[in-house]
Amino acid sequence: MKSRTYNLCLLGFGNVNRTLVRLLEDRAPELREKYGISFQITGIASRSLGWIADTAGLDPNARSNADPKVTNVAEWLAAARADVLFEATSLNVTDGRPAVDHIRAALTYGTHAITANKGPLVHAYRELRDLATASGKRFLFESTVMDGVPIFSLFDQLPAIHLQGFHGILNSTTNVMLSEMENGLTFDEALKKAQAVGVAETDATHDIDGWDAAVKTAALITVLMDTPIRLDQIARDGIRDLTAQAARNAKRDGWPFKLVCRAKRKSDGEIEASVAPEKVLASSPMGKITGTSSYIYFETDILPGLAITEENPGLYATAYGMLADFVRAVSE
């Protein structure tokens, strides 16, 4: 199959985009032969690296120097002649920046924008969606919730269906911590275990206090229920005040604690949403979710219940969501 070569730019060069590079290299023959897609990396940028661009192609494993003439994302995209931006910077709960600015710049320049950052969905989804449409480009974000599980694209395949609500377990850090606390570790020991397995950051405040789960809940409501919602409209409680003894007792009684995300459309059309530790029946689907696994249950007006479970994903699952979005963006 005749293929086209796309210039790829990686903004944020931490674990997610580094894993994406390895996955792209591994799948390069299949992308070329099955989908007619070839690629070269022409831009890499991060706080520590600066703005690196080379239209002849970059080796992401080699040390490259930043271009002193490039001082912002718009100049960098132009210098790299970007076709696709992979945005994987850190979440800013307050306003979604600078990720919102990065994606806006990409779509304005005429580049497909793919992100693993949940912030832009909560703080600027409709603006970025409409800008993508006006630019004739795609704004895609499958990796923002449940890694590479096709939650958002699933509903693209379910036309004229209305999502009434959902509940689930969407934060891996707290799920690992609760599992370890049930098994005898203290809160601090459980946090260190979550950090050791790579699901928790050094500062795990966003996870422990329920912010990550709340942002994911808001993203699902905003996109899939077509109702923008502010984070302060979501009742939020994390696991910081939950003791290891309480976790062990709950498990012993057959009702383990889980950090549960919920959303429900009320009769007046408003959305009621929450994130909080709940006791769930051990034999229920949510009660069986342990470690880094995730679960979500959708309620629609046609399908009364649609559940998805993701078993112990790793970084490759997140990177796969971005790769799948890449294929979708350039194939449609």
The 10s digit of each residue's pLDDT in 195-219 is: 998 888 888 999 999 999 999 999 9
Q: Which of 325, 330, 324 is nearest to 140 (CA)?
A: 325
Structural domain including 292 reads 156-312
- End-to-end distance of the chain based on CA atoms, in angstroms? 17
Tell me: do 241 and 141 sit in the same domain. Answer: no
Tell me: do 143 and 163 sit in the same domain. Answer: no
Tell me: do 32 and 121 sit in the same domain. Answer: yes
Q: What is the pLDDT of residue 197?
A: 84
Plot region of 97 (φ>0 → left; ψ -120 to 50 → alpha; else → beta): beta
Tell me: do 308 and 320 sit in the same domain. Answer: no
The 10s digit of each residue's pLDDT in 48-91 is: 999 999 999 999 988 888 988 999 999 999 999 999 999 999 99
Question: What's 39's domain CATH number?
Answer: 3.40.50.720
β-pairing, 294-300 vs 271-279, is unpaired
pLDDT at residue 178 is higher than 70: yes
What rounded mean pLDDT belongs to the chain? 95
pLDDT at residue 3 is higher than 90: no
Residues β-bridged to residue 257: 279
Q: What is the pLDDT of residue 313?
A: 85
Q: What is the pLDDT of residue 314?
A: 82
Tell me: do 298 and 176 sit in the same domain. Answer: yes
What's the rounded Cα separation, in Å, for the pair 22 and 41? 12
pTM of model > 0.85? yes
The alpha carbon of 230 is separated from its chain's Cα centroid by a whole number of angstroms, namely 18
Confidence category of residue 1, pLDDT binned at 50, 70, 90? low
Tell me: do 241 and 273 sit in the same domain. Answer: yes
Tell me: do 161 and 122 sit in the same domain. Answer: no
What's the rounded Cα separation, in Å, for the pair 38 and 7? 9
Strand locations in the chain (E) = 4-11, 37-46, 50-53, 84-87, 112-115, 139-140, 163-169, 234-236, 257-265, 271-279, 294-300, 306-310
- Tokens 């696991």 correspond to what residue? 239
**What is the average per-residue pLDDT within 18-34?**
96
Tell me: do 130 and 170 sit in the same domain. Answer: no
Tell me: do 168 and 288 sit in the same domain. Answer: yes
What's the rounded Cα separation, in Å, for the pair 190 and 166? 28
Domain count, the chain: 2
Q: What is the pLDDT of residue 218?
A: 98
What's the rounded Cα separation, in Å, for the pair 281 and 287? 6
Question: What's 247's domain CATH number?
Answer: 3.30.360.10
Tell me: do 55 and 178 sit in the same domain. Answer: no
Tell me: do 30 and 175 sit in the same domain. Answer: no
Tell me: do 131 and 266 sit in the same domain. Answer: no
Report percent pLDDT > 70 for the chain. Answer: 100
The 10s digit of each residue's pLDDT in 105-164 is: 999 999 999 999 999 999 999 999 999 999 999 999 999 999 889 999 999 999 999 999
